[in-house]
C-alpha cells in the first residue's frame, strides 16, 4: 500500500514554482532584449554636477528618455578627459517622418548626424540638470571624443548656457585684473596738475580789459546804427560819387580822356548802386539791421558770461573741476 502524498510539500512546491514564474516574467519584461529603447552616448567636456542617474532626457522639451549611467573618460593619445553620459531613449515616444517606424533605431543615421545635446538647468533652486536634445545640423559640429568602442551611437554635445556664462565671467574678471589702476591714477593726477597750472597762468586782468573793450565796441556800433551815422556816411559817399561823376562828364570833353572817363563813370555808378543797396539794408526796419542788433546783444551777453567765469576762476582756480559752489 503506497504512502499518502504530503499535501503540504506539494502546496509549497506549487507556490515556489508560481513565484519563480512570476519573477522570470518580470525579469524578461524588464530586460533590454525585449524593451523598446535605444542607448546613446554623450561626451561632455564640462562639469555635469546636478545631472544624476535618472535625470530626464528631452527632445525640444518633450521627455523621451532618461540618464542611465555616467562615467569618466580619458584619452591616452591627447590626454583629454571627458564625462561620458549614457542615455536611454524610448522609441515609443518618437515618430519618424511620414509615419515610418524605428525598427532600425530610434534615430536614422542621417538625422542622428545633425542632433546635438546640451545640459540645461531645470531648477535654479535645486540646481538639477537635464539633457536637452535638438536638431542643429552640421553647422554646429559639437564636442566629440574618440572612444575605443566603435559601435556606440554618439550624439555630439554643445556647451551649456551656464558654462558659457561662467567662461564669460571668468574672462571679465581676468580682464579687470589686467587693468593698471596705478597708471590710470597717475595719469589722472597729472591731468589735474596740468589743468591747475593752466588756470593759474590765466591773466584775469588782461582778460577783463579785453572783455570791456569788446563790450564798448559792441555798444558803440549799436549806437552808431541806432543814430543813423552809418546811413548818413553811406549817403555822403553816394552824393560824393554823383558829384565826381558830374565832374568827370564836364571835364571829359576838355581833357579828351573819353575812355578813362567812361571806365571811371562805370565804376562810380557801381559804387552808387552799392551805396544805395547798403542804405536800403541798413534802414531802421530792415531785417539785416535787426539781425546785427541781435548778434551784438548776444556778443555782449557772452562777454559778460566770460568775464564772470574769469572772475570765478581768479577767486577759486579749482572751480572748473569741483563746479560752482551752491549757496547755503
pLDDT, tens digit, for every residue of 165-206? 766 776 677 777 677 777 788 887 778 777 777 676 766 677
Residues 204 and 123 in one domain: no
Residues 137 and 198 in one domain: no
Residues 127 and 198 in one domain: no
| CA distances from residue 72 to 47, 85, 142, 258 in whole angstroms, order as listed | 11, 9, 19, 115
Residues 218 and 133 in one domain: no
pLDDT for position 2 = 47
- The upper half-sphere exposure of residue 42, i.e. CA atoms within 13 Å in the direction of its Cβ, equals 28
Residues 204 and 315 in one domain: yes
The grid coordinates of residue 255 equal 581833357
Does 138 map to a domain?
A: yes
pLDDT for position 188 = 79
Cβ atoms of residues 21 and 102 within 8 Å: no
Does 17 map to a domain?
A: no
Domain end residue (candidates: 158, 178, 201) = 158
Does 270 map to a domain?
A: yes
The grid coordinates of residue 280 equal 536800403
Does 55 map to a domain?
A: yes
To the nearest 10 degrees (0 to 180), the angle between helices 204-227 and 287-315 is: 160
Cα 163 off chain centre by: 22
pLDDT for position 148 = 57
pLDDT for position 87 = 92
Cβ atoms of residues 152 and 167 within 8 Å: no
Total domains present in the chain: 2
Residues 318 and 198 in one domain: yes
Residues 150 and 210 in one domain: no
**Residue 178 to residue 51: CA distance in whole angstroms:** 35
In 3-state terms, what secondary structure has residue 103? coil
Does 168 map to a domain?
A: no
Q: Which domain holds residue 313?
A: 191-322
Does 173 map to a domain?
A: no
**Residue 117 to residue 141: CA distance in whole angstroms:** 11
Residues 198 and 104 in one domain: no
Residues 154 and 81 in one domain: yes
pLDDT for position 78 = 66
Residues 74 and 135 in one domain: yes
Does 16 map to a domain?
A: no
Question: Which pLDDT tens digit goes with each residue over 118-170?
Answer: 888 888 888 889 999 888 877 777 776 666 566 678 888 888 877 667 667 76
Local mean pLDDT, 10-residue blocks, the chain (328 residues):
59 73 65 67 86 90 90 73 87 60 58 83 86 82 66 82 71 71 79 74 69 73 66 69 64 54 67 65 64 70 66 62 55
Domain end residue (candidates: 158, 178, 206) = 158
Residues 253 and 300 in one domain: yes
- Please give the model's pTM, rounded to 2 decimal places: 0.43
Does 4 map to a domain?
A: no
Residues 199 and 289 in one domain: yes
**Residue 211 to residue 302: CA distance in whole angstroms:** 10
Amino acid at each position: 500500500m503506497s504512502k499518502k502524498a504530503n499535501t503540504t510539500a506539494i502546496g509549497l512546491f506549487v507556490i515556489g514554482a508560481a513565484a519563480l514564474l512570476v519573477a522570470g516574467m518580470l525579469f524578461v519584461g524588464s530586460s533590454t532584449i525585449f524593451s523598446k529603447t535605444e542607448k546613446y552616448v554623450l561626451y561632455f567636456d564640462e562639469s555635469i554636477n546636478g545631472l544624476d542617474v535618472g535625470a530626464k532626457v528631452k527632445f525640444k522639451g518633450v521627455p523621451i528618455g532618461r540618464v542611465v549611467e555616467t562615467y569618466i573618460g580619458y584619452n591616452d593619445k591627447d590626454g583629454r578627459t571627458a564625462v561620458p553620459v549614457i542615455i536611454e531613449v524610448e522609441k515609443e515616444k518618437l515618430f519618424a517622418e511620414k509615419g515610418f517606424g524605428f525598427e532600425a533605431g530610434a534615430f536614422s543615421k542621417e538625422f542622428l548626424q545633425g542632433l546635438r545635446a546640451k545640459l540645461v538647468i531645470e531648477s535654479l533652486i535645486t540646481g538639477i540638470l537635464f539633457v536637452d536634445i535638438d536638431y542643429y545640423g552640421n553647422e554646429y559640429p559639437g564636442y566629440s571624443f574618440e572612444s575605443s568602442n566603435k559601435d556606440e551611437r554618439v550624439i555630439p554635445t554643445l556647451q551649456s548656457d551656464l558654462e558659457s556664462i561662467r567662461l564669460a565671467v571668468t574672462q571679465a574678471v581676468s580682464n579687470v585684473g589686467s587693468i593698471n589702476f596705478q597708471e590710470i591714477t597717475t595719469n589722472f593726477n597729472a591731468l589735474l596738475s596740468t589743468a591747475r597750472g593752466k588756470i593759474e597762468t590765466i591773466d584775469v586782468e588782461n582778460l577783463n580789459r579785453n572783455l570791456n573793450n569788446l563790450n564798448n565796441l559792441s555798444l558803440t556800433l549799436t549806437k552808431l546804427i541806432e543814430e543813423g551815422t552809418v546811413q548818413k556816411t553811406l549817403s555822403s559817399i553816394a552824393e560824393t560819387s554823383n558829384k565826381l561823376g558830374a565832374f568827370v562828364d564836364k571835364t571829359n570833353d576838355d581833357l579828351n580822356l573819353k575812355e578813362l572817363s567812361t571806365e571811371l563813370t562805370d565804376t562810380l555808378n557801381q559804387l552808387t548802386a552799392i551805396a544805395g543797396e547798403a542804405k536800403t539794408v541798413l534802414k531802421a526796419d530792415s531785417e539785416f539791421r535787426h539781425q546785427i542788433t541781435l548778434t551784438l546783444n548776444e556778443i555782449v551777453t557772452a562777454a559778460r558770461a566770460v568775464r564772470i567765469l574769469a572772475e570765478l576762476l581768479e577767486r577759486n582756480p579749482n572751480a572748473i573741476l569741483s563746479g560752482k559752489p551752491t549757496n547755503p
